[in-house]
Structure 1
Amino acid sequence: MPEDIQLTTTWARTPLPAGTSQVGYLLLEAKPRARSAASPATVNFAMVLDRSGSMDGPKIESLKRAVMEVIDTLRPEDTVSVVVFDETASVIVPSTSAADKTALKNRVESIRVQGGTAMSTGLEAGAAEARKGIAPDRVSHMLVLTDGQTWGDEDQCRAIAQQLGPEGVRITALGLGDEWNEQLLDDLAAATQGVSDYVADPKDTEKYFQAATAAAQSTAVRRARLLLRLAQGVTPRAVFRVTPMIANLGYKPIAEREVNVDLGDIQADPGASVLVEMMLPANAAGAYRAAQAELVYDVPQENRVDQRERVDVMLDFSATAAPKVDPRTMNLVERVTAFKLQTRALDEAAAGNVAGATQKLRSAATRLLDLGELDLADTMNRAAETMAQGGGPTAAEQKQMRYATKRLTLEQLTGSGQ
């Protein structure tokens, strides 16, 4: 069997104290080997873009430059399509080869702003174009950008994304500025194991588009899913993705003491990493197999499906030795904890629990200060103070908190931020 993936495990602390039940944190990392990461993936790249009246000025000009850069980055064997939407959708570039770049960019240059916002029309037309390019040896990716609220068709948008997920189309959903619905974009991305993000300034649009293109082209394996077979007495509590961005993945029980975690596509760099929080039984001193981890995945470049990589997850318990902390894994635990606190704070604020939201934001800010994330900590402290005085965070502050905490692990694991 070809060895495409290196699967490694690291406990945050080991050995653990014997004789007591406790929470353990396990970092699982899947890193494509050089062989599977050597050649760029052939991609089917669909773009669904807001051209409503609020996009006028620097927004639409930056958008057009970003799309043209994507076209320049794609190879002749790739396919590309461009759909724009206001109240209705227009297909600017039907699904086609990315070879004739001049002709494609001329079509993009013709985009003009108009009308209001009905995202479902764009998603429906974009999905139709994306489906034309789906093939077993291609990576299908949809890049969605909007700067505003879509009115009354959110459920249709979610339904389209839920159809695209099983078809292998991964969505990157970008919100530009401060007036869009972050929950909707998060849902679109989650339905396809994709990512959502916040573009605060139009001049950064090109950077985010290039990152999405690079992610598609560097896809080494597709439809990755992690199977965890747990030892007697071991129970999962939470599973968080930590690369490329933090997300609560959840898990699906598929048998007694066996759970499935959908990971989606895995890029050559940085790979995929998940942090598993689990309750461990009161074991006597000794070495135990806490779980077996199995990664199941497809390799699109070679049209291979259901490839497998397994590793036993061993853990030591001791009645005398003090636990040794793995600094890198524990740092990730702290960053995920800050993400969880921020998420719960915004949920409680939305539910009207101001005291609970304020307390959690301040706790998150304290952890962020310890981690050296000074600007984000300052934003959370300001938001907490505003809430305590009867106000609330601005739309920009809320989006910064929501998405900056998702990015907390980028520099930690890859050495580069977005």
Structure 2
Amino acid sequence: MSDFVHFTGLFSKNYLPHLPQPQVLYAYFETRPGERQEQARLPLNFSLVLDRSGSMSGQKMKQLREAVKTMISRLEPTDFISVVTFNVHTDVIISATNVRDKEKLESRVNRLEAGGGTSMAPALRAGLAEIAKHLSPEVASRLIVLTDGQTTGEDDCRHEADKIAAAGVPLIALGLGTDWNEDFLLDVAERTGKLGDALLIKKPEDVGLIFEEVFSQMQVVAQNLAFRLLLVQGVEARRVWQVTPLIKDITFGAVKGRTVEFGLPELAESGAAYLVELLIPPRNPGRYRFAQAQVSYHVASRGAAQEARTDLTAEVTTDPNLTRQVNGRVMNIVEKVTAFKLQTQALDDVARQDIANATRKLRTAHTILLDQGETELARNALAEAERLERGESLSSEGRKTIKLSSSKTVRLSDPNAPK
């Protein structure tokens, strides 16, 4: 175990039944900041690109101002921030600056007012220009855009997103309410690479919570993570998922015969986690090492690459009392992945007009989520299943919740997370 990064690997079961046919076993891996690295994050260099069109008036703008000021209050003097606003015009209300005079920055935020239409592309261009002033490998750069509605010139926005990606800057898209196009925002975010993301803000009062989540994901403590899983002869990797900070199937390109390899540009303080579905061939009773996992990474203060590794072993046994034992933490993650798959598959079924299968999958997801205590997501899955059964379409809010909220897992640092 490294002082800079903690890397652990767990099987879903430590004891496998002695069977004449192959059996499924899940391997779960967590990478999180170590004791010496938790306080050593990279300086931030980010731009907030904020919708101030007429629909953002009232409570939305009030909550947005407070969330931005709270974020400013948490920044260090070595951090850089810029704030760009847009309606039909684009204005840079805070040009890229280090955070030394917080009161001055907060006073500028207090002057934010809503009015006018929505034109996002020029604002994305302006946000990148501000980030470019301090862009370097020694800082964690992000472009964060928040909107509550449709924008003109979606193709222009995609073009700007490609430029943002070429600069190596992840884009985090925040959609407030239900009037924006989730497919468009997801596309814009995902064009900027593995760290690009889109999040749903259901209510104005949730703006602060989502900003807190984004802020946590920007606390970069290591870079250039490379994960490698070596499997022994006969063991197969069938599926690979990233599960923290969000669930994503990364099987394609990661599985290379008996090796599983993938990378992550940065490790934030919220950590990263992965789930691998393995197929274990028949084995005689006894203890076996089925895999060895390793992760390499760079820490700015250390220069050379660091490495951590772990062996994964399990015992094949004829004792039914032992084979009934499971790792609750891993199975919790497996269930989350299952619920996510069911909901996303339901969206595909709806697109193909296969309403019966879509309804069945949403109801199954509802049961899994309810068992896990995810009551809001469970309620959403059930409500959308009932809408389909009544011959109605999926609701805008329900579709957004499935696409953007159902992929989020518990944080690795969550004290309530099952062990």
Would you call these one fold, judging by a TM-score over 0.5?
yes
For residues 73 and 272 of structure 2, what CA distance do their matches in structure 1 show?
A: 28
For residues 329 and 415 of structure 2, what CA distance do their matches in structure 1 show?
A: 12
**Compared with structure 1, are the counterparts of its residues 89 and 410 closer, same or farther at alpha carbon in structure 2 (3 Å cutoff)?**
same
**Compared with structure 1, are the counterparts of its residues 166 and 32 closer, same or farther at alpha carbon in structure 2 (3 Å cutoff)?**
farther
For residues 164 and 222 of structure 2, what CA distance do their matches in structure 1 show?
A: 18
TM-score (norm 1): 0.88
**Compared with structure 1, are the counterparts of its residues 343 and 314 closer, same or farther at alpha carbon in structure 2 (3 Å cutoff)?**
same
The SS at the match of 1:169 is: coil
Whether contact under 8 Å (1:169, 1:192) holds in the other structure is no
1:189-200 correspondence to structure 2 within 5 Å: 189-190=189-190, 191-200=193-202
Partner letter of residue 174 of structure 2? L
**Compared with structure 1, are the counterparts of its residues 188 and 111 closer, same or farther at alpha carbon in structure 2 (3 Å cutoff)?**
same
For residues 66 and 350 of structure 2, what CA distance do their matches in structure 1 show?
A: 38
C-alpha deviation, 1:144, in angstroms: 1.7
Partner letter of residue 178 of structure 1? T
Whether contact under 8 Å (2:216, 2:268) holds in the other structure is no
For residues 314 and 77 of structure 2, what CA distance do their matches in structure 1 show?
A: 49
C-alpha deviation, 1:145, in angstroms: 0.9
Gaps of 5+ in 2: none
Partner of 1:226: 227
Partner of 1:239: 240
* Cα-to-partner distance string for 1:363-413 (whole Å, 9 max, x where unaligned): 111212322333432332221121012102321222234444223534995
1:59-74 correspondence to structure 2 within 5 Å: 59-74=60-75
C-alpha deviation, 1:210, in angstroms: 2.9
* Cα-to-partner distance string for 1:105-142 (whole Å, 9 max, x where unaligned): 33333433343333332222212221222223222222
Whether contact under 8 Å (1:48, 1:145) holds in the other structure is yes
For residues 132 and 400 of structure 1, what CA distance do their matches in structure 2 show?
A: 36
1:83-94 correspondence to structure 2 within 5 Å: 83-94=84-95
- State, as a whole percentage, how many aligned pairs show the same letter: 36
The SS at the match of 2:70 is: helix
The SS at the match of 2:406 is: helix
For residues 88 and 319 of structure 1, what CA distance do their matches in structure 2 show?
A: 71
* Cα-to-partner distance string for 1:90-111 (whole Å, 9 max, x where unaligned): 3222211111223323333343
C-alpha deviation, 1:8, in angstroms: 1.0
Partner of 1:45: 46
Whether contact under 8 Å (2:4, 2:37) holds in the other structure is yes
Partner letter of residue 213 of structure 1? F
C-alpha deviation, 1:40, in angstroms: 4.2
Whether contact under 8 Å (1:285, 1:317) holds in the other structure is yes
**Compared with structure 1, are the counterparts of its residues 347 and 411 closer, same or farther at alpha carbon in structure 2 (3 Å cutoff)?**
farther
For residues 142 and 414 of structure 1, what CA distance do their matches in structure 2 show?
A: 30
Partner of 2:360: 359
Partner of 2:303: 304
**Compared with structure 1, are the counterparts of its residues 149 and 225 closer, same or farther at alpha carbon in structure 2 (3 Å cutoff)?**
farther
1:18-417 correspondence to structure 2 within 5 Å: 18=18, 19-154=20-155, 156-158=156-158, 160-161=160-161, 164-165=164-165, 167-190=167-190, 191-217=193-219, 219-253=220-254, 256-268=257-269, 270-300=270-300, 302=301, 304=303, 306-320=305-319, 322-323=322-323, 324-410=325-411, 413-415=414-416
Whether contact under 8 Å (2:237, 2:255) holds in the other structure is no
For residues 2 and 408 of structure 1, what CA distance do their matches in structure 2 show?
A: 25
Whether contact under 8 Å (1:44, 1:133) holds in the other structure is yes
Partner letter of residue 308 of structure 1? E
Partner letter of residue 207 of structure 1? L
Whether contact under 8 Å (1:118, 1:153) holds in the other structure is no
For residues 121 and 183 of structure 2, what CA distance do their matches in structure 1 show?
A: 15
**Compared with structure 1, are the counterparts of its residues 249 and 165 closer, same or farther at alpha carbon in structure 2 (3 Å cutoff)?**
farther
For these two proteins, the number of residue pairs brought into alignment is: 412
**Compared with structure 1, are the counterparts of its residues 51 and 223 closer, same or farther at alpha carbon in structure 2 (3 Å cutoff)?**
farther
Partner letter of residue 54 of structure 1? S
Whether contact under 8 Å (2:3, 2:35) holds in the other structure is no
The SS at the match of 1:37 is: coil
For residues 370 and 85 of structure 1, what CA distance do their matches in structure 2 show?
A: 43
Whether contact under 8 Å (2:2, 2:34) holds in the other structure is no
Partner letter of residue 68 of structure 1? K
Gaps of 5+ in 1: none
Whether contact under 8 Å (1:80, 1:95) holds in the other structure is yes
C-alpha deviation, 1:197, in angstroms: 1.6
For residues 369 and 254 of structure 2, what CA distance do their matches in structure 1 show?
A: 33
For residues 44 and 411 of structure 1, what CA distance do their matches in structure 2 show?
A: 25
C-alpha deviation, 1:338, in angstroms: 0.9
For residues 412 and 44 of structure 1, what CA distance do their matches in structure 2 show?
A: 24
